Chain A
Amino acid sequence: MRRLILTFTLLLFVASSFAGSINFTAKCSHKTVEVGQQFRVTYSVNASGGNFTPPSFEGFNSYGSGQSSNKQIVNGKRTIMNSISYILVATKTGNLKIEPAVFEYEGESYKSNPLKVEVVGADENSANAQRNRQNNRKGAAKELEDYIFIQPVVDKRSAYVGESITVTFKLYYQLNFGQLSPDKMPDYSGFWSKDISPTNRQDLPIERINGEQYQVVIVQKMLLTPQRAGDLEIGSMELNTVVQVKTQAGRNMFDRMRGYGVQNKEVRLVSKPIKITAKALPNKGKPTNFSGAVGQFNMSFKPNKTEVKSNEAIDFVVKISGNGNLPLIAAPKLNFPSDFEKYDPETKNNFKTNAGGSQGSKSFTYLAIPRHSGTFEIEPYTFNYFDPISKSYKEIGHEPIVIQVEKGADEENVVFTPRNKEEVELIGTDIRYLHINGVSLNSSKDRFYQSTLFYLLILLGLGSIGILFFLSRKLKEKSADTVGLKKSKANKLAKKRMAKAKKHLDANETAAFYEEISAALFGYYSDKFNISLAELSQEKIVELIDNKEIGNELKLVLDEAEMARFAPSAGGSPSDLYQKAISVISKTEGIA
């Protein structure tokens, strides 16, 4: 049996040229243990090779052992520390003694220090007791879990939505293990996750758990960002591996005869799920356009130029730098003036994601092309984020950006509103030439409408209608008067001519009256036509009058006067004849 041990240790302890004193010590993880509680006894020696003989561990049950080797070069000196540890469980109470182990090296025999362990009765409520009971229930096959197990470690159990959490799956081991083959990776549903595991195997410092030393290696390290509020769970990780177990098989003679052996055992390592409380971001003070950024940030918004010509591109760069969930920050929506042709932003990441979250900057480059000249103001963009440290929302604004766009040479060619056919045809032509002839340069004071002249002419027109009306009236009146005058004159003349006849009529001298009527008429016409009485006859007068009506009347009057001269009783009354004679003369005067 001892030979076997010797062989085993020789296999493990790499031979090396080593000079110096041998330091062989024994350590116990606990000074006081409960009955049934596991504890560890470790023997360390600063030498390779040699022959190690463990003590008998009376009063204890030994559950296998683990070995480790630690080489160091300090100040050019190479030191080596080999250790072997045993998991022991006390079976009875009292002050128990663990005998020294023996280490034989280069012919010399070294003894370790003895150990004393006080074993007390089990406390029913203690965690170890529970654990032991659990272990006991699980049976011997599960006991390996105490030598090698995965423990997920989170940096915080509760986080705001968007706040980063780091979870590290650590493998604690006291036994050598082979290839780790993942059977089931943890379920990160509800989280945005990023693997930030170290690329090389990273051994962490030895940790003590329940007084026992474990070597620790990182299996996986994840950066998790809760995506929704509520109780989230980091699922369990399941790994399969093979461990080397030194068996102290059995407690009977035959087993002892076989001694310690090394056995490969398959182990399934299952981590416990972890509950994470994802807190919703507070509603108080939450901006309506909250960006979703959680962390501590800075923001800058700059165009690469502020004075351009139309159709020249401008780059607007929004740079968000800081520490937080940078990968999750979406491109901000910028409101460019509608005359700017804008393109989707180009995103540049310049950050590192590690345990503390993402650090660095993320920049969004917006290409915009002003299509028209003018002065444009870019609406201020405000970046907001939630600061989980101060537990408040913060905003970063910037100065308004004024872009001066000069008219570019080709502005009119790039108007993108399609022109209709008629307009396209017109473009090839030129404007018509100036008006230079027949241009009258009158001051607007000389305008005709509403000018004095205009009103005067209107007045003149309307006035002349009035004047014409007045004139025509007058003229009519006047002409009417002349007729009357002529009539009265002719009447007067006739009466004068007939004055003698009237006298005879009044004296009732009928014969003389008739004679005088004829004489007066002949005398009148003689005067009228300047013809001597001798030449004048009744026919001649009628002919000269040249008026049938008057002529007939005259004839009647003369005939009646002739007839009455010779036959006074015949014919009408003398006064009628007198009136008729006067009428004839008047009428004659009237026409000539």
Chain B
Amino acid sequence: MKKLAFTISFILILGIQFGFSNESLSQFQKATAAYDSSNYSDAIWLYNNLLQEDIILSDLHYNLGNAYFKLNDVPRAILNYEKAIKNDPNNEDAAYNLSLANAKTVDKIEGIPDLFLYRWWKAVFNLFAADTWAKITVSLLFIAVVFFALYFFSAMLGMKKLGFYLGVIFIALGFVSWFLAAQQNSYLNTQQYAIIIEPTVNIKSSPSAGSSKLFVLHEGTKVKIENQTNDWLEVSIPNGNKGWIEAELLEGI
């Protein structure tokens, strides 16, 4: 019992983040004030400043997305909501606002969903952010340490057995959680999807300006990045159509 309480408090201690700089905080508050007074461009500028200081945060992207949404810049609102969700899969508000923003886009593409196994796998590692998975990893490891101590020092055979098995299980779970953290991290750091920023773009058959047009997409549409050359990206849309687009016309999530 005492051991369990110790573990929980250990997780809580890890969960408490380190303090953040006052300057960032004041910028954040200024941005909120600007948003409240409908001064959305200023809010956008401030949020972008914060993001440039390597503060990559779901909430910050979410707020930035809101500011863009208020300015009716739908593609950038979608981009930031998507980033918010990517950074924190549990950001429900971002998901909700994203659905609103998506309702304003032009292209309606009926898509084939991912393979269910991949969907499940994604749902699993997206359950928590990489940092949370890392914390879970450490916590599980320390619980395992406690069970191993029980195994090592208990004079009673039953307790010894229990300690051994639970210790092995928890250390294994710790490594699984570490793997999930790595998955989440690589998922965050690779841009698999992109949002079309320009109002109307032509998707070409090959990465050159003169090639023939395949189809037209509009701002706010999410495309999957399949391939990349210098200034061109090969993208696919959920219905399976593929084509090349100039990289500057869209922005990766």
Q: Which of B100, B149, B167 contacts A429 (CB 8 A)?
A: B100
Chain B residue contacts of A430, Cβ below 8 A:
100
B162 contacts A by Cβ under 8 Å? no
Q: In the bound complex, how far is the Cα of B99 from the Cα of A186, in angstroms?
A: 73
CB atoms of B18 and A426 under 8 A apart? no
> Is A105 an interface residue, CB under 8 A from the partner?
no
Instruction: Pick from A442, A443, A465: contact of B145, CB below 8 A.
Output: A465
CB distance from A172 to the nearest CB of B (A): 64
The stretch among B58-66, B114-122, B226-234, B237-245 that forms the contact with chain A is B58-66
Whether B96 pairs with A432 at a CB distance below 8 angstroms is yes
Which residue on A lies nearest to B99, using beta carbons?
Answer: A426
Task: With A434-B35, A441-B28, A462-B141 as known contacts, state yes or no: A337 contacts B97, CB within 8 Å.
Answer: no
CB contacts (< 8 Å) of B69 on chain A: these are: 431
Q: Which residues of B contact A374 (CB under 8 A)?
A: 198-200
- In the complex, chain B residues whose CB is within 8 Å of the CB of A431: 66, 69-70, 96-97, 100-101
Question: Is A442 touching B35 in the complex (CB atoms < 8 A)?
Answer: no
Contact B199 A435 (CB under 8 A): no
Q: Are B185 and A419 in contact (CB under 8 A)?
A: no
* 26 residue pairs A–B, Cβ–Cβ below 8 Å: A337-B200, A338-B216, A339-B218, A372-B199, A373-B200, A374-B200, A431-B70, A431-B96, A431-B97, A431-B101, A432-B93, A432-B96, A440-B57, A441-B60, A443-B54, A446-B18, A449-B134, A454-B137, A457-B14, A457-B141, A461-B141, A464-B145, A465-B148, A468-B152, A471-B152, A472-B152
> Given A434-B66, A436-B32, A469-B148: A442 and B141 within 8 A (CB)?
no
> When the two chains form their complex, are residues B17 and A442 in contact, meaning their CB atoms are under 8 A apart?
yes
- From A372, A423, A433, A475, B218 is in contact (CB under 8 Å) with A372
Is A21 among interface residues, defined by CB-CB distance under 8 A? no
A residues within 8 A CB of B181?
A: 449
Binding site for A on B (CB under 8 A): 14, 17-18, 20-21, 24-25, 28, 32, 35, 50, 53-57, 59-60, 62-63, 66, 69-70, 93, 96-97, 99-101, 103-104, 106-108, 130-131, 133-135, 137-138, 141-142, 144-145, 148-149, 152-153, 167, 171, 174, 178, 181, 185, 198-200, 216, 218
- Taken together as a complex, chains A and B put the C-alpha atoms of A412 and B54 apart, in Å, by 35
Q: Which residues of B contact A432 (CB under 8 A)?
A: 66, 93, 96-97
Chain A contact residues: helix, strand, loop or mixed:
loop
Residue of A nearest to B93 (CB): A432
Known: A434-B35, A449-B131, A449-B181. Contact between A444 and B200, CB under 8 A? no
Q: Find chain A residues with CB under 8 A from B101 CB.
A: 431
Query: Given A374-B199, A376-B200, do A435 and B20 touch, yes or no (CB 8 Å)?
Result: no
User: Would you call A141 an interface residue if the criterion is a C-beta within 8 Å of the partner chain's C-beta atoms?
Assistant: no
Q: Is A427 part of the contact surface with B, judged by Cβ < 8 Å?
A: yes
A288 interface residue (CB < 8 Å to B) = no
Q: Which 5 A-B pairs have the closest CB atoms?
A: A461-B141, A472-B152, A449-B134, A374-B199, A374-B200
- Residue A448 CB within 8 A of the other chain: yes
Which among B35, B134, B144, B174 is the interface contact of A454 at CB below 8 angstroms?
B134
* A433, A441, A465 interface centre (most CB from chain B within 10 Å): A441
Instruction: List chain A positions with a Cβ less than 8 A from chain B.
Output: 337-339, 372-374, 376, 405, 407, 412, 415, 417, 419, 423, 426-427, 429-436, 439-450, 454, 457-458, 461-462, 464-465, 468-469, 471-472, 475
Given contacts A426-B100, A461-B142, contact A444 B216 (CB under 8 A): no
**CA of A374 to CA of B220 in the docked complex: distance in angstroms?**
14
User: Quick one: given A426-B103, A434-B35, are A440 and B17 in contact (CB under 8 Å)?
Assistant: yes
Chain B nearest CB from A450 CB (Å) reads: 7
Give Cα distance in the complex from A374 to B216, angstroms. 12
Q: For B130, list chain A residues within 8 Å (CB).
A: 447, 449
Chain A residues whose CB sits within 8 angstroms of the CB of B28 once the complex forms: 439, 441
Q: Which residue of A lies closest to B69 (CB)?
A: A431
Task: Considering the complex, give the chain B residue whose CB is closest to the CB of A407.
Answer: B199
- The CA of A445 and the CA of B17, in the complex, are separated in Å by 13
Chain A residues, CB < 8 A from B216: 337-339
Q: How far is the CA of A503 from the CA of B145 in the complex (A)?
A: 59
Give the contacting residue for A442; candidates B18, B32, B62; CB below 8 A. Answer: B18
Q: Which of B60, B104, B148, B152 contacts A412 (CB 8 A)?
A: B104
CA–CA, A417 to B109, complex, Å? 11
CA distance A303 to B28 in the complex (A): 49
**A417 with B185: CB separation less than 8 A:** no
Which residues of the other chain, A, contact B133 by a CB distance below 8 angstroms?
449
With A468-B148, A468-B152 given, name 14 new contacts (CB 8 A).
A374-B200, A405-B199, A426-B99, A440-B17, A441-B24, A441-B25, A441-B55, A442-B18, A449-B133, A449-B185, A457-B14, A457-B142, A465-B145, A472-B153
What separation, in Å, do the CA atoms of A165 and B131 have in the docked complex? Answer: 87
Minimal beta-carbon separation of A462 from chain B (angstroms): 7
B145 to chain A, nearest CB (A): 5
Q: Are the CB atoms of B141 and A373 closer together than 8 Å?
A: no
- Whether B106 lies near A461 (C-beta < 8 A) is no
Are B152 and A372 closer than 8 Å at their CB atoms?
A: no
